[in-house]
Structure 1
């Protein structure tokens, strides 16, 4: 696959990559960054260059790994995510890391996997084929690697399983397999089936969309958001059923089983453990949101949870529940921010700096999102107050 989007006479994005004796990739914990690291790692493997991939949740953790004393003179360090160190970075606030990784693959004259690339782009919030990603989708279609079909973007062939644990949806039955089976059973879907005729796929898509939009707490963005999961790009030869489902698994594993996620992105046989992690991630996220308490402020929607993956809850709440442009989820020792339009790195840094007076705080930033890790003694009201002042 040719890697377009940059003229052939432009200099390499990462000088020294072609001649490096060993490459360390230190990546942030999200689906876009995981896909980007996988694309680069596969390119290095194709060329026979030794490498290591390490996933770290916060800026300080990635920085510490970059500055570790065991880094050799012939090694090249590459960051996929924000770091406080002078090293090459494969990401930008306004552009998915996956696109930059594809350009690195071009520099190395290797052939990246377009299904992994499309999944990374979807994880970054980019519709397949939109903007700079048009050539990626066209290449995948030309090679018969993806095809559009009726239904919903899920990772499994079994619709009940795929819909119950998806974090790209929020319906009254989300997170509950039995309730999902009941909802689909009403339109004739066998709870154990792994194959649906096109007409029934279309029916399932319509039922899901109606349940999502018709939910009592659904926000105005719910219809547009669920529409992005309809008529997905299927991946007949891929590790998961659809591009969107692949993206969902990358997001889940990046957060709770980064070793499994990295192995998956690098092309190793990690399908079953990745799906197990995804199911656990989705179930916990939906359960946490169902039992959460919420508050609304000018420009900020606050969700307080007792347990669960804060970033998944924030993403689901922002897409399907929040009436405000920014959503904050606060849990024990962690918090996450998701913005509908844009959330600058400086905003997250300012919140972390303000909270630092109350104890040790670590943070991370991504496209339209932020993450905070803090000491258990830090009061939730303090976090909320700092966020209200900053967003």
Structure 2
């Protein structure tokens, strides 16, 4: 009589689940420190480095003028540091939200940001250099249009994602993306802020491009918006004169006019040479360069840190672009691809526009240098956008050493 051993095939009953406590609780909390994709680390590190570097340059550019205004040398930098202290945790908090959260918030966020922008036309609105695009609440100034950039990118990503199977028809491409986009941009143009409006147009065109619409459908809004920008530039003689000043070959003849700031920006860059005058040793910041801490902070970087400092800043933006575009390339979610592409084109494109203005290669648009220029609202909106990118980066597969070296079961390793 043969005896059959049934212990090998007999199923083992599962153990009753024990309540989590002690070590188990600590293990669950350890998921917060789980491995993240390299794109997450690249975007987060470059954003943090640029933000800290921007605080240092704002301090250097405003220390002398802050004392002349009756305050301390650290007043302006401390105000900027408060927004950085709020924006950096906000960035990492936003990185924890799932992609489904951003899809649900697309419409509410854009509506709230547009209503916030409409406050510039109330008694809270103030004029700044001919633009009514600022509000003042309890002595604190804010630029609501900065939040339109990130919310418009998210909204466009959601709308074009929902219509991804219908984008071959130009009517589905244009409605509601184009009418809503024109309305949002119109709230900014009503305040005569052409620079911010151009960035919003850039975001809209980038979203259409990364959605994969046909070229002939993409060209029509491109021509429409290019014509609109040209019309608003030509319709104002004062704005046209300022924009075309960069083509003036004899700019010294108009030294005290529209060429004053561009000339001092170029002189600041040229005065720094290769190695710069040293941190804090700028001459242009002593009221020679009016927007030293704002639109022309790149000139102060070049004067104090030289060509090397300028190259470092550009390399950091290039690394940021590499990490962000890797998300666009690797993701399988159309919403992530469109939104990440629009945000990346906004931040990197605005940086290139700012640098081109300082180098007198482009007209004066009045757009800040992301992360570096003085402006709490601008810094917070850029850090929030980085949080959205980090949230998207968490959806990418993590490439670890074990996953690379471990062969697939059932196959021989090569």
The TM-score, its normalising length taken from structure 1, stands at: 0.28
Larger radius of gyration: 2
Structure with greater helix percent: 2
